[in-house]
Amino acid sequence: MFYNTLNYNSDLSSQNRTHHLKTILESVQPDLFMVCEIKNETASNYLFNNAVLPFNRNFSKSPFSQGQSPDTSLLQTVYYNSNKLILENNAVIPTGTRDINHYTFIIKTENNESNPIKIEVFVTHLKASRGSYNRQKRLNSVNSFVRELDRLPKNSNIIFAGDFNFYTSNEEGFLSLINESNSIKIVDPINRLCPNFPNDGKDYFDTDYNSTYFWNNYSFKDIHSQSTRSSALSDGAGGGMDDRFDFIMMSENLKTNSNLFYKNGTYKAIGNNGNCYNSYVSNTSCTGEFSQEIRNALYNFSDHLPIVMEIETPENILSVSKNPQPITFSSNNVINNYLSFNILSSINLKNVTIYNNLGQIVKELKVTNQTEVTMNISSFSKGMYYIKADFYKPIKFVKI
C-alpha cells in the first residue's frame, strides 16, 4: 500500500487526524506500507506508534532517512510486517527535487537463507504542477531511478511507488519510466495508459490541451486517486476526483515469475468506487465496494487515496499462521444494553479494547483466562464500535 499522507507533521493538526489512518489500515491490512509527505522523524514515529502499531503489533519501521535532495520538507519512509518481511538494506538516491528511497526486502520464507526472494522497493514524490519546467523535473528524477536499475540484477523484483504527479502517460518522464530499452522493464500493473498524442505538431500539454489524452477524464474515473475533496480543507487540494497521480509500478517479471508474482485484479485506489468523478470521495451517492466509513476516513485524512496491489509467493512464510479470530459474539453484533462475546480458549489474550467510530478508546478490559465476557454498555452512545484484541483485525458491533 502506498499513501500520500498530506504534510504529516509532528503538530496537533496531524495528530488529530491519525485515527482516520488507523481506520484505513485496519480495513486494508497491508504488509508493506509506503508513504510520502512525512515532514520529519518525529512525525513518522507518532504515525507509527498511533496508527501502524495499533493495527498490527508485528510491524516495524525502516530507519528514517533525512533528505539529501534540495527539497527536504517532504520525505518518504516505509513500515512493514516483520513476520513476513526482512529489511536487508535501505539507501537514498538523491535527485534534483526529492529523494528516491530504496529498500531491499527479503520475504521471510522457510528457504529464505538458502534461496532468498528479494523485493527492491523504491518510493518517491515527483515534482508537482503543470508546465515544461515541472515536467523536466519529473523526467530528471525518473532518469535517476532508471540509472539505478542498471546497477541491479536483470531478474530483480521491482516495486516503484509514489505520488508521481504525472498528468498523462504521454509525459516525457512516464515514457522514460516504461521505456522497453530500460535494463529492467517497468510496467503499469493495470496497463491503464492514456491515448497517444497525435503526431500533428500540436502542443497538447498546454496550448492545444485536450483531456482525451490525459488521465483527467471520465474514462479513467475508476482509478483516480486525487483529490478526495471538492473544496480544499485547511490543507491539501480540492477539485474532486479527477487525476491519477499516485502509482505502484512494477517490473514486468512480476507478471511471469513463479516464485513471486502480481495477483491480477488486486490493484486498486482504495475508496474509489468508480462513480465519484469530479466529486468528493465521501459523497453518500458514491456507494459501492468501499463503505461510507472508510470513505469518510479517507476524506478526513488526506487529499489523496492510497494505492494497493497484492503480490504472492507459493513459498511457505515463516512465523505466519492462519490465526482464527479470537473473539466471537454470543448472539449477534447488534447490541442494546449488554455486550456478550466469547474468547477462543487457545488464544492467550490479556486485554481487549473497545473503540468508538472516531478511533477513541471507550473501554479497556482485562480478560486473562476468560472465555466469556458480558458487560453493561447502556451508558454507551448509539453508534458503531470496534472490539480489538492484540494484532487481530477488529470486529464491529452496533449499539442501538
Domain boundary among 312, 337, 363: 312
What is the model's pLDDT at position 323?
Answer: 53
In this structure, the answer to whether residues 390 and 292 fall within a common structural domain is: no
At residue 346 the predicted structure's pLDDT band, cuts being 50, 70 and 90, is low
In this structure, the answer to whether residues 251 and 334 fall within a common structural domain is: no
In this structure, the answer to whether residues 31 and 66 fall within a common structural domain is: yes
Identify whether 206 is part of a domain. Answer: yes
In this structure, the answer to whether residues 189 and 41 fall within a common structural domain is: yes
What is the model's pLDDT at position 81?
Answer: 95
166 is written with which cell numbers?
A: 504525472
Q: 363-375, pLDDT tens digit by residue?
A: 988 888 788 999 9
In this structure, the answer to whether residues 23 and 70 fall within a common structural domain is: yes
What is the model's pLDDT at position 51?
Answer: 97
Rounded Cα distance between 240 and 223, Å, is 13
Q: For 194-222, what is the mean pLDDT? A: 97
Q: Which domain CATH number covers 335?
A: 2.60.40.10
Contact (Cβ atoms closer than 8 angstroms) between residue 137 and residue 97: yes
Rounded Cα distance between 225 and 159, Å, is 18
Q: For 17-31, what is the mean pLDDT? A: 95
- How many domains, in total, are found in the chain? 2
In this structure, the answer to whether residues 293 and 340 fall within a common structural domain is: no
Identify whether 83 is part of a domain. Answer: yes
Q: For 333-349, what is the mean pLDDT? A: 85
At residue 316 the predicted structure's pLDDT band, cuts being 50, 70 and 90, is confident
Q: Is 319's pLDDT higher than 70? A: no
What is the model's pLDDT at position 388?
Answer: 83
At residue 322 the predicted structure's pLDDT band, cuts being 50, 70 and 90, is very low
Q: Is 320's pLDDT higher than 80? A: no
In this structure, the answer to whether residues 275 and 352 fall within a common structural domain is: no
Q: For 266-293, what is the mean pLDDT? A: 97
In this structure, the answer to whether residues 109 and 158 fall within a common structural domain is: yes
Full 3-state SS string of the chain:
CEEEEEEECCCHHHHHCHHHHHHHHHHHCCCEEEEEEECCHHHHHHHHHHHHHHHCCCEEECCCCCCCCCCCCCEEEEEEECCCEEEEEEEEECCCCCCEEEEEEEECECCCCCCCCEEEEEEEECCCCCCHHHHHHHHHHHHHHHHHHCCCCCCCCEEEEEECCCCCCCCHHHHHHCCCCCCCCEECCCCCCCCCCCCCCCCCCCCCCCHHHCCCCHHHCCCCCECCCCCCCCCCCCCCECECCEEEEEEHHHHCCCCCEECCCCCEECCCCCCCECCCCCCCCCCCCCCHHHHHHHHHHCCECCEECCEECCCCECCCCCCCCCEEECCCCEECCEEEEEECCCCCCCEEEEEECCCCEEEEEECCCCCEEEEECCCCCCEEEEEECCCCCCEEEEEC
At residue 113 the predicted structure's pLDDT band, cuts being 50, 70 and 90, is confident
At residue 379 the predicted structure's pLDDT band, cuts being 50, 70 and 90, is very high
Q: Which domain CATH number covers 154?
A: 3.60.10.10
In this structure, the answer to whether residues 336 and 226 fall within a common structural domain is: no
Rounded Cα distance between 85 and 103, Å, is 11
Query: When comparing pLDDT for 383 and 219, which is higher?
Result: 219
Tell me the CA distances in angstroms from 300 to 21, 33, 124, 227, 357, one per residue in order.
9, 19, 23, 12, 13
Rounded Cα distance between 6 and 38, Å, is 8
Least confident of 90-104, 151-165, 279-293, 305-319: 305-319
Length of the chain: 400
In this structure, the answer to whether residues 157 and 248 fall within a common structural domain is: yes
Least confident of 59-63, 87-91, 164-168, 354-358: 354-358
Q: For 102-121, what is the mean pLDDT? A: 93
Identify whether 318 is part of a domain. Answer: no
What is the model's pLDDT at position 229?
Answer: 98
Ramachandran assignment for 200, one of left (phi > 0), alpha (psi -120 to 50 degrees), beta (any other): alpha
Identify whether 109 is part of a domain. Answer: yes
Q: Is 321's pLDDT higher than 60? A: no
Q: What is the dihedral of CA 258, 261, 264, 268, to 10 degrees?
A: 170
Identify whether 199 is part of a domain. Answer: yes
Q: Express as a percent the part of the chain with pLDDT over 70.
A: 97
Q: Is 347's pLDDT higher than 80? A: no
Identify whether 322 is part of a domain. Answer: no
Cα dihedral 252, 270, 304, 78 sign: negative
Mean pLDDT (the chain, rounded): 93
State the amino acid at position 165 in one-letter form.
Answer: N
Identify whether 378 is part of a domain. Answer: yes
145 is written with which cell numbers?
A: 531511478
Domain boundary among 312, 338, 359: 312
CB atoms within 10 A of CB 237: 18
Rounded Cα distance between 259 and 380, Å, is 50
- Residue 110 — φ and ψ, nearest 5°? -65, -25
CB atoms within 10 A of CB 340: 12
Identify whether 50 is part of a domain. Answer: yes
Q: For 22-49, what is the mean pLDDT? A: 97
Range of the domain at 366: 327-399
At residue 136 the predicted structure's pLDDT band, cuts being 50, 70 and 90, is very high
At residue 324 the predicted structure's pLDDT band, cuts being 50, 70 and 90, is low
Q: Is 283's pLDDT higher than 90? A: yes
Domain boundary among 282, 312, 342: 312
Q: What is the Cα 74 distance to its own chain's centre?
A: 17
Q: What is the pTM of this model?
A: 0.81
What is the model's pLDDT at position 13?
Answer: 96
Q: For 121-128, what is the mean pLDDT? A: 98
In this structure, the answer to whether residues 235 and 351 fall within a common structural domain is: no
281 is written with which cell numbers?
A: 470521495
At residue 85 the predicted structure's pLDDT band, cuts being 50, 70 and 90, is very high
What is the model's pLDDT at position 162?
Answer: 98
Q: Is 37's pLDDT higher than 60? A: yes
Q: For 94-103, what is the mean pLDDT? A: 98
In this structure, the answer to whether residues 228 and 135 fall within a common structural domain is: yes
Least confident of 54-58, 135-139, 141-145: 54-58
Rounded Cα distance between 63 and 103, Å, is 10
> Which among 364, 356, 359 has a CA at the least distance from the CA of 380?
356
Rounded Cα distance between 105 and 119, Å, is 5
Contact (Cβ atoms closer than 8 angstroms) between residue 304 and residue 163: yes
Rounded Cα distance between 270 and 75, Å, is 22
Contact (Cβ atoms closer than 8 angstroms) between residue 315 and residue 325: no
What is the model's pLDDT at position 111?
Answer: 85
